[in-house]
């Protein structure tokens, strides 16, 4: 099978790489912001142009030297993208003109022997001159405006003419999509790097290093997985930077497109109120959930007992009692086999179906043991019939004899009965109620 070619967008900070990335991908996946350094990791997405499929890589800005503790690692990520790319699109800023860093990047690309396309961005008018950029030594010099979409089609024509043609298979099995979520600095990026076996996301001791949702695809035991390393979710009142606010939005969006949410907790610092908030986001999104207690190597050294900490998790996150807990160390790799097993298990549970007969036998036994209770009033309530109407999450329709809702405590009771009978470990259960007309 011919591998999908990779195309990397590189350039100095703030030339519009993320804007062009979003324009080509057709969705707002990368954060765009007026300040340099908004993109810190490599950001991947599949793109298709005129029947040719390729993987597009957005990178952080390249600088010759910097004292910024985050821009340095971001430049390392950009260099990694250059090394793995089949084609590099060097993006420069037509408004700012040719700058020394543009020339330095061009020299590095020539030294590495990479195939390069030169694109001059922010060219909203055909009258704008691009002649000075010929000094970089790449032809042709393509003009475009990523913000307005001008010239992007011509750039894509040039891209697909320089890479192998690979058609995307419509019947290809979709990877299991997994969102790593949690408050800032609990070790999500370190966990991602350990799981995929390479430094895919920038790891830093500075909270909030990861701002984009960064996708990584890997194959394990014949199954494909797509990991999304999300920016740490923060309280709204702590979001002083607009780009961090966008990070929270994207973390929640990544949950919407995930199959499984791995809620990463910090054994060293303990549980925080925000852990419950993030867990609530995952449950509300209907995702299958695994609780991953990270930094367990540090916690055990400090004398923390697993049974005691697990009970703490159950007490503080009671609404996630259905989710399995794994004790791991992203630093050492401890517990990762158990984490993989839990991911596969909750993914299957969220897609499990039960027959109508099985379901109604459980419902009959449940209401024989405890009569249904209405949310309001004292109606003589009965569950006439039940049916599973959906998966991921498992969703059940209950037909009642009166136009009322079931009391939340009785719904919780029914949920426990279904879990006892059918499992559904790691998957939230949803009930919908209707009244049968007489």
Q: Which fold has domain 176-350?
A: Rossmann fold (3.40.50)
167 confidence band (pLDDT: 50, 70, 90): low
Strand partners, 220: 223
Q: Where are the alpha helices (DSSP H) in 174-329?
A: 188-196, 242-256, 273-284, 296-301, 306-316
Rounded CA separation 5/308 (Å): 49
Residue 341: what pLDDT?
97
pLDDT of residue 203: 41
The fold of 356-435 is GMP Synthetase; Chain A, domain 3 (3.30.300)
Bigger pLDDT: 213 vs 394: 394
Any idea what DSSP says for residue 319?
Answer: G
For tokens 């209907």, what's the residue?
A: 286
Q: What is the CATH number of domain 6-160?
A: 3.40.50.300
pTM value is 0.64
Q: Name which of 7-21, 119-133, 243-257 the model is least confident about.
A: 243-257
The alpha helices in 55-126, defined as continuous H runs, are: 71-84, 100-112
Mean pLDDT over 61-83 rounds to 58
* CA angle 242–244–250, rounded 5-degree value: 110
pLDDT in tens, 208-262: 444 444 566 778 888 888 887 555 444 445 445 544 454 456 567 678 778 999 9
Distance of alpha carbon 381 from the chain centroid: 43
Residues of the chain with CATH 3.40.50.300: 6-160, 176-350
Residue range(s) in the chain whose domain bears CATH number 3.30.300.20: 356-435
Instruction: With H, G, I as helix, E, B as strand and everything else as coil, classify residue 309.
Output: helix
- pLDDT > 70 in the chain, percent: 79
């Amino acid at each position: 099978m011919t591998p999908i070619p990779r195309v990397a967008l590189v350039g100095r900070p703030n030339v519009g790489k993320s804007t062009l990335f979003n324009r080509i991908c057709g969705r707002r996946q990368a954060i765009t912001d007026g300040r340099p350094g908004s993109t810190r990791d490599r950001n991947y997405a599949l793109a298709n142009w005129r029947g040719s499929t390729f993987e597009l890589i957005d990178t952080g800005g390249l600088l010759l030297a910097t004292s910024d503790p985050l821009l340095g690692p971001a430049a390392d990520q950009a260099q990694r993208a250059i090394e793995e790319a089949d084609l590099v699109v060097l993006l420069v800023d037509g408004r700012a003109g040719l700058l020394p860093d543009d020339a330095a990047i061009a020299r590095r690309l020539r030294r590495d022997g990479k195939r390069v396309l030169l694109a001059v961005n922010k060219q909203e008018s055909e009258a704008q001159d691009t002649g000075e950029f010929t000094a970089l030594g790449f032809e042709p010099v393509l003009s475009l405006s990523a913000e307005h979409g001008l010239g992007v089609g011509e750039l894509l024509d040039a891209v697909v003419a320089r890479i192998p043609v690979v058609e995307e298979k419509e019947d290809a099995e979709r990877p299991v999509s997994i969102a790593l979520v949690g408050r800032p600095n609990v070790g999500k990026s370190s966990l991602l790097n350990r799981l995929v076996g390479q430094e895919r996301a920038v790891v830093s001791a500075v909270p909030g290093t990861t701002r984009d949702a960064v996708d990584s695809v890997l194959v394990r035991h014949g199954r494909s997985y797509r990991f999304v390393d999300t920016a740490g979710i923060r309280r709204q009142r702590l979001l002083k930077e607009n780009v961090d606010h966008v990070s929270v939005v994207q973390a929640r969006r990544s949950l919407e497109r995930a199959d499984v949410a791995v809620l990463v907790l910090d054994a060293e610092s303990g549980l925080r109120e925000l852990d419950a908030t993030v867990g609530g986001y995952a449950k509300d999104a209907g995702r299958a959930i695994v609780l991953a207690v990270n930094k367990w190597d540090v916690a055990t050294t400090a004398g923390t007992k697993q049974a005691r900490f697990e009970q703490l998790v159950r007490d503080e996150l009671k609404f996630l009692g259905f989710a399995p807990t794994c004790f791991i160390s992203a630093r050492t790799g401890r517990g990762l086999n158990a984490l993989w097993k839990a991911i596969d298990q909750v993914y299957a549970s969220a897609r499990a179906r039960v027959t109508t007969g099985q379901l109604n036998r459980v419902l009959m036994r449940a209401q024989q043991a405890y009569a249904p209770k209405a949310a309001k009033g004292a109606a003589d309530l009965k569950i006439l019939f039940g049916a599973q109407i959906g998966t991921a999450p498992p969703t059940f329709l209950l037909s009642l004899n009166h136009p009322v809702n079931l009391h939340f405590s009785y719904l919780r009771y029914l949920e426990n009965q279904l879990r006892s009978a059918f499992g559904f470990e790691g998957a939230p259960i949803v009930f919908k109620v209707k009244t049968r007309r007489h």
